């Protein structure tokens, strides 16, 4: 079995289970069914398109439903309200989606294992409370306070992971208990009805300040050039070793699409979007966007280019097979919960930055449900073994777009719940149908 970056996650999972250290020759891979698709060399752009269609027919939908849903939402809302596609609202949408995307990225790790973390939302609120108290009561700098909050999240995840893996308590029960217990922390530390202001210049600035326009352009060019260099290097490396690789036309097309998206958004957000541009100047990319992009790139690398990532997919695909292949399943599961809660802490900081305060209710309500919905809508499977960090970001944009657009249309709150619930149910149905088709195809 091959461990190949072009392969689907499910292929990675099964492949890693059979060869936990990976590195086998992709050219010696599979013998039938969809595995032939993964190991077949597409020579032209047309071949790559046909292979992609075959994967769709086999149930490997990826993020396609979420992307199509996002396009539909943009078309509907922009046709019903002229303000939806303004640069001012697009910047607001980026800020609103930030905390959801980060929390959803953390949940991807436990969802890949077929587990759940119901406490992630309130864990973020608890960690944001610790950060705020470190600044306000103990006079710590923002970065020390941030480290304290993230460390608190890591400890929470470590305890959850040990209880789930060592004692064998279902994650649903453990995290439900933490969901209830962690809400007591901010209530005790802040007091009922109280709140802590979040006015640190750096942390608050993540949501209300923007990257200088020149720095934004430099970062955008660096991202495009870096992606192009990495893609071309991978193409040359794999083709020179006779491994399965994308056709050069597809590589160039992917680079061009990324360049259009990144440079286009940079140009859009670099314009002065102030309601009264003659008096105020609001331009540049909101700081929360680079934070989300950096986390996305880092976790994508971890999931696709490291042994831990391959083992995570392997355990999520078949834990018993992974254990027999020599993978330390307990360590992988504990690490996944630690990463999930640590990312929840970062999400809590972004949410507090957005609202400007921390209260006993921070991280409660629908925060967790929206993040789980974002991960599933983006393409992460609830059954484990299939998902990417980018799925969380795409799903987070879908989740954030719904209340943003409905708010501009002055729709009642219950409409938001109905639409979001319907989109989530549709995504879960697509996931279930795709899983059934992959099973029928033998993937």
What's the start-to-end Cα distance of the chain, in Å? 12
pLDDT of residue 15: 44
pLDDT of residue 42: 66
pLDDT bin (cut points 50, 70, 90) of residue 155 is very high
Cα separation, 310 vs 305, whole angstroms: 8
pLDDT tens-digit readout, 117-138: 999 999 999 999 999 999 999 9
| CB-CB contact of 274 with 281 (8 Å) | yes
Cα separation, 272 vs 266, whole angstroms: 12
174-207 in b/e burial notation, b at 16+ Cβ within 10 A? bbeebbeebbebbbebbeeeebbebebeebbbbb
22 or 139, greater pLDDT: 139
* The two three-digit tokens of residue 231, written as one number: 């893609």
Q: Can you say how many angstroms the Cα of residue 83 is from the centroid of all Cα atoms in its chain?
A: 27
Backbone φ and ψ for 358, nearest 5 degrees, come out as -125, 135
Cα separation, 80 vs 87, whole angstroms: 17
- Is the confidence at residue 188, as pLDDT, over 60? yes
- Is the confidence at residue 162, as pLDDT, over 90? yes
pLDDT of residue 417: 83
pLDDT bin (cut points 50, 70, 90) of residue 35 is very low
Cα separation, 295 vs 216, whole angstroms: 17
Cα separation, 347 vs 128, whole angstroms: 9
Give CA separation, 394 vs 16, 34, 102, 206, in Å.
26, 26, 11, 20
pLDDT tens-digit readout, 193-229: 889 988 889 999 999 999 999 999 999 999 999 989 9
Backbone φ and ψ for 117, nearest 5 degrees, come out as -130, 95
Sole residue written with tokens 């939402």: 73
Element (H, E) at 148: helix 142-165
**Helix and strand counts by DSSP (H, E) for the chain:** 19, 2
- Is the confidence at residue 160, as pLDDT, over 80? yes
- Is the confidence at residue 171, as pLDDT, over 80? yes
| CB-CB contact of 290 with 211 (8 Å) | yes
Average pLDDT, the chain: 85
Average pLDDT over residues 365-391: 86
pLDDT bin (cut points 50, 70, 90) of residue 443 is low
pLDDT of residue 442: 59
33 or 76, greater pLDDT: 76
206 or 419, greater pLDDT: 206
- Is the confidence at residue 234, as pLDDT, over 90? no
Average pLDDT over residues 236-241: 85
Q: Which range is least confidently modeled, 155-159, 333-337, 399-403?
A: 399-403
| CB-CB contact of 294 with 215 (8 Å) | no
Q: Which range is least confidently modeled, 104-108, 157-161, 179-183, 196-200?
A: 196-200
Sign of the four-CA dihedral 267, 273, 277, 282: negative
- Is the confidence at residue 328, as pLDDT, over 90? yes
Q: Which range is least confidently modeled, 59-73, 97-111, 279-293?
A: 59-73
Cα separation, 69 vs 374, whole angstroms: 12
pLDDT bin (cut points 50, 70, 90) of residue 259 is very high
pLDDT bin (cut points 50, 70, 90) of residue 18 is very low
């Amino acid at each position: 079995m091959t461990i190949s970056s072009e392969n689907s996650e499910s292929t990675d999972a099964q492949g890693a289970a059979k060869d936990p250290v990976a590195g086998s020759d992709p050219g010696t891979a599979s013998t039938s069914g969809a595995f032939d698709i993964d190991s077949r060399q597409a020579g032209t752009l047309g071949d790559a398109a046909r292979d992609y269609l075959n994967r769709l027919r086999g149930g490997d939908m990826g993020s396609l439903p979420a992307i199509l849903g996002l396009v539909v939402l943009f078309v509907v809302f922009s046709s019903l309200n002229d303000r939806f596609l303004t640069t001012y609202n697009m910047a607001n949408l980026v800020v609103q989606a930030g905390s959801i995307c980060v929390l959803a990225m953390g949940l991807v790790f436990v969802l890949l294992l077929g587990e759940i973390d119901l406490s992630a939302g309130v864990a973020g609120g608890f960690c944001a409370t610790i950060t705020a108290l470190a600044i306000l009561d103990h006079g710590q700098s923002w970065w020390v306070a941030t480290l304290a909050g993230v460390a608190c999240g890591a400890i929470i995840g470590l305890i959850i992971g040990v209880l789930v893996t060592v004692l064998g308590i279902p994650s649903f029960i453990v995290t439900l208990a933490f969901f209830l217990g962690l809400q007591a922390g901010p209530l005790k530390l802040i007091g009922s009805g109280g709140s802590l202001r979040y006015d640190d210049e750096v942390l608050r600035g993540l949501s209300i300040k923007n990257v200088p326009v020149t720095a934004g352009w430099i970062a955008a060019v660096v991202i495009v050039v870096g992606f192009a260099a990495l893609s071309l290097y991978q193409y040359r490396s794999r083709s020179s070793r006779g491994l399965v690789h994308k056709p050069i036309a597809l590589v160039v097309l992917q680079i061009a699409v990324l360049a259009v998206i990144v440079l286009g958004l940079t140009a859009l957000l670099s314009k002065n979007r102030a309601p009264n541009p003659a008096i105020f100047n609001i331009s540049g990319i909101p700081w929360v966007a680079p934070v989300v992009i950096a986390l996305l790139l880092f976790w994508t690398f971890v999931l696709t280019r490291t042994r831990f990532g391959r083992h995570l997919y392997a355990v999520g695909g078949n834990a018993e097979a992974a254990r027999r292949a020599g993978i330390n399943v307990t360590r992988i599961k504990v690490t996944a919960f630690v990463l999930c809660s640590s990312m929840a802490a970062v999400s809590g900081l972004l949410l507090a930055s957005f609202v400007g305060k921390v209260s006993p209710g921070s991280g409660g309500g629908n925060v967790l449900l929206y993040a789980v919905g974002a991960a599933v809508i983006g393409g992460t499977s609830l059954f484990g073994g299939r998902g990417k960090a980018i799925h969380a970001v795409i799903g987070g944009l879908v989740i954030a777009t719904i209340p943003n657009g409905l708010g501009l249309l002055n729709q009642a709150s219950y409409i938001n719940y109905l639409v979001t619930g319907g989109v989530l149910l549709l995504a879960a149905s697509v996931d279930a149908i795709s899983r059934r088709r992959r099973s029928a195809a033998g993937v």
